[in-house]
């Protein structure tokens, strides 16, 4: 964890894969947010961007290599179910993006989430 004023950057390990969450207005560190504690990472499906054949550097801190499991195509918006390690991730993207990426079941894609779009929750 790294803090500067009201901004806290938290690095989290998920089965050997690193994630980052940027918490804003965290003037005091929450008691449950301690190294070694188990927490849940949460992000909205509309915040999950997808890329195929991404190369080079990018500022998004959270990158997950996934396999497309299901494409639920809508007129304007589509829901993509992805397999990441043992987890199912969902991405909601425009149907135009599904077409431009030519997404199909079995495709390998990279799911990307900005650190400021990740929330942390105390494990119940």
Place of tokens 């949460």: 42
pTM assigned to the model:
0.88
- CA–CA distance, 43 with 61 (Å, rounded to integer): 14
65-88: b or e for each residue (b if 16 or more CB lie within 10 Å)? ebebeeeeeeeeebebbbeeeeee
Q: What is the pLDDT of residues 80-123, one digit of tens each?
A: 999 999 999 999 999 999 999 999 999 999 999 999 999 998 87
Mean pLDDT computed over 27-47: 85
- For residue 48, the number of C-alpha atoms closer than 13 Å in the C-beta half-sphere is 22
Q: How far, CA to CA in Å, does 22 sit from each of 2, 52, 67, 121? A: 10, 26, 26, 13
Residues 101 and 52: beta-carbon distance below 8 Å: yes
Give the per-residue pLDDT at 26.
60
Domains of the chain by start residue, with CATH: 2-122 (2.40.50.100)
């Amino acid at each position: 964890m790294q803090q500067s004023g009201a901004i806290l950057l938290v690095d989290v390990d998920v089965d050997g894969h690193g994630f980052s969450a940027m918490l804003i207005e965290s003037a005091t560190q929450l008691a449950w947010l301690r190294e070694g504690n188990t927490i849940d990472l949460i992000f909205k499906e509309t915040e999950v961007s997808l890329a195929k054949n991404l190369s080079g550097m990018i500022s998004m801190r959270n990158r997950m290599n996934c396999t497309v499991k299901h494409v639920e195509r809508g007129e304007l918006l589509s829901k993509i179910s992805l397999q990441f390690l043992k987890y199912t991730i969902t991405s909601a993207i425009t149907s135009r993006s599904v077409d431009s990426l030519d997404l199909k079941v079995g495709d390998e894609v990279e799911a990307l989430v900005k650190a400021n779009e990740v929330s942390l929750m105390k494990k119940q």
